[in-house]
């Protein structure tokens, strides 16, 4: 066939299929911002055509779960539910979120290279739509393992985590239909696959003065590290708090979120009180989550000691690039797919569904900001504040007067008193340095927050008033 006519026929075929699958009956409610109404006729067409599932040779399909579960390898169980809930935004309104297990992001899965992952996805009987799962850490056929799970049913997946690194997992929509809506409404998370032989020690290249001359001075840090996880995404919302596909298509971001919240890791009213003696006098230019009445949604700072190995697991879950940078620090090492990509760099670029492990040593006590160095992203929510060491004299004095300063001194950071937000801390691995304490912080339901409390995380909205009352009494 003439190449020109072949191209025209191909374009025409795509247009016809697009009209059938994503015609006005389907796209209109999305563009109008509806998150909960799912048109059945287009989905029936999708099903009649076999669904929007990638077709791969059967030779690539993973075996039944029983084969892997009985293989003799270590097995890690990972059970999720697909649940739609309303969650708050920084404007004080709520939005129609879709979640894995009632939280955004979903729970973090951490395994060791070579482990068998046994995962289930349950869709409750009262859920409004089907959901699916796409595990980027897996190597298995998309058909039939990544299709939609019916309402009231449970899907089961098994795979071997063969490749170390950080990997996205996300909802695959209804056999890919509306996948954008499900993911950008909150259905995403990460899998951390630790290397079988562990992480490598960190080398930081400095300089020293010897005999009046400047010479190179390499400093080595053990592979064990204090660890954090940060996941970046965008919200595209109507005024009613529902998903707006039109905004997504035009890249018109409503808010940029880190672990589900815009400006979720900035000072709050507690920090204002410790710093200025006034809970309403803000430290930072944007503090939308100030009040203790917000409970698990109140923003929290991240605390680290100086001169200690810190490891970040970073994932770009969204639609926009992430130019990851720490204001005031150098990224000492950037690793992707268990390969070092850079040592001693200022910023690292992550495209959509890209990840990295970043190793940093904070040299000096002070205030640092991890940002997506896209100014639109910074001003719409992608700023995360770290405090290294114990640099704030007013806070030190307040902690002393409250009788709690020794905890901070012992930890080398304010985490010894206030803890670090539990949603920014991944499950522990073989090379993890334990945080001195965790506080309850998450874009999640009360049930998830209460489970964190039961696991030892501090509800600061209860702890701080009790400490103040004890000191005054």
Give the annotated binding-site residues for Cu cation: 131, 136, 170-171, 182, 187, 373
Contact 77, 118 (CB under 8 A): yes
Binding site listing: 131, 136, 170-171, 182, 187, 373
Contact 465, 292 (CB under 8 A): yes
Q: What is the 3-state secondary structure (H, E, C) of 310-368?
A: EEEEEEECCCCCEEEEEECCCECEEEECCEEEECCECEEEECCCCEEEEEEECCCCEEE
DSSP state of 423: G
- Phi and psi at residue 192, to the nearest 5°: -105, 120
285: β partners = none
Instruction: Return the H-helix or E-strand segment holding 122.
Output: strand 116-122
CB atoms within 10 A of CB 291: 16
Those residues whose C-beta lies under 8 Å from the C-beta of residue 389, and which sit 6 or more positions away, are 305, 306, 362, 364, 365, 366, 412, 413
100: β partners = 82, 103
Instruction: Return the H-helix or E-strand segment holding 291.
Output: none
Dihedral sign from CA coordinates of 210, 213, 215, 217:
positive
DSSP state of 132: -
DSSP string across 9-44? HHHHHHHHHHHHHHSHHHHHHHHTT-SS---HHHHH
Contact 384, 324 (CB under 8 A): no
Instruction: Return the H-helix or E-strand segment holding 111.
Output: strand 109-112
């Amino acid at each position: 066939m003439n190449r020109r006519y072949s191209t025209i026929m191909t374009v025409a075929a795509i247009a016809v299929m697009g009209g059938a699958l994503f015609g006005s009956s389907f796209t209109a409610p999305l563009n109008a911002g509806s998150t909960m109404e799912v048109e059945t006729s287009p989905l029936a067409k999708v099903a009649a055509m076999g669904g929007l599932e990638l077709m791969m040779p059967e030779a690539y399909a993973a075996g039944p779960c029983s084969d892997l579960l009985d293989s003799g390898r270590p097995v890690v169980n990972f059970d999720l539910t697909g649940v739609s809930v309303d969650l708050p935004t920084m404007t004080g309104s709520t939005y129609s979120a879709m979640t894995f297990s009632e939280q955004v992001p979903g729970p973090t899965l951490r395994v060791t290279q070579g482990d068998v992952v046994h995962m289930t996805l349950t869709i409750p009987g009262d859920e409004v739509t089907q959901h699916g799962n796409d595990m980027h850490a897996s190597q298995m056929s998309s058909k039939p393992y990544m299709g939609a799970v019916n309402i009231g049913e449970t899907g089961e997946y098994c795979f071997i985590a063969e490749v170390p690194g950080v990997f996205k997992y996300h909802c695959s929509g209804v056999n890919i239909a509306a996948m954008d809506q499900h993911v950008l409404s909150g259905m995403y998370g990460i899998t951390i696959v630790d290397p079988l032989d562990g992480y490598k020690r960190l080398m930081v290249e400095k300089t020293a003065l010897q005999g009046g001359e400047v010479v190179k001075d390499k400093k080595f840090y053990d592979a064990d590290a204090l660890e954090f996880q940060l996941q970046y995404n965008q919200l595209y919302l109507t005024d009613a708090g529902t998903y707006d596909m039109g905004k997504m298509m035009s890249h018109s971001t409503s808010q940029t979120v880190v672990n589900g919240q815009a400006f979720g890791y900035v000072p709050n009213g507690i920090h204002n009180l410790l710093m200025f003696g006034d809970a309403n006098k803000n430290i930072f230019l944007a503090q939308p989550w100030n009040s203790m009445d917000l409970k698990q949604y109140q923003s929290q700072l991240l605390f680290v000691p100086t001169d200690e190995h810190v490891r970040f697991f970073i994932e770009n879950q969204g639609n926009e690039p992430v130019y990851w940078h720490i204001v005031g620090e150098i990224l000492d090492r950037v690793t992707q797919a268990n390969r070092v990509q850079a040592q001693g760099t200022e910023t690292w670029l992550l495209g959509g569904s890209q990840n990295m492990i970043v190793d940093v040593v904070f040299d000096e006590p002070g205030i640092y900001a991890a940002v997506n160095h896209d100014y639109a992203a910074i001003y719409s929510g992608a700023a995360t504040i770290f405090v290294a060491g114990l640099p704030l004299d007013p806070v030190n004095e307040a902690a002393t007067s409250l009788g709690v300063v020794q905890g901070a001194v012992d930890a080398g950071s304010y985490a010894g008193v206030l803890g670090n937000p539990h949603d920014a801390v991944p499950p522990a691995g073989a090379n993890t340095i334990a945080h001195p304490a965790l506080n309850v912080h998450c874009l999640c339901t009360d049930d998830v927050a209460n489970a964190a409390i039961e696991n030892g995380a501090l509800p600061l909205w209860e702890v701080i008033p009790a400490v103040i009352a004890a000191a005054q009494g």
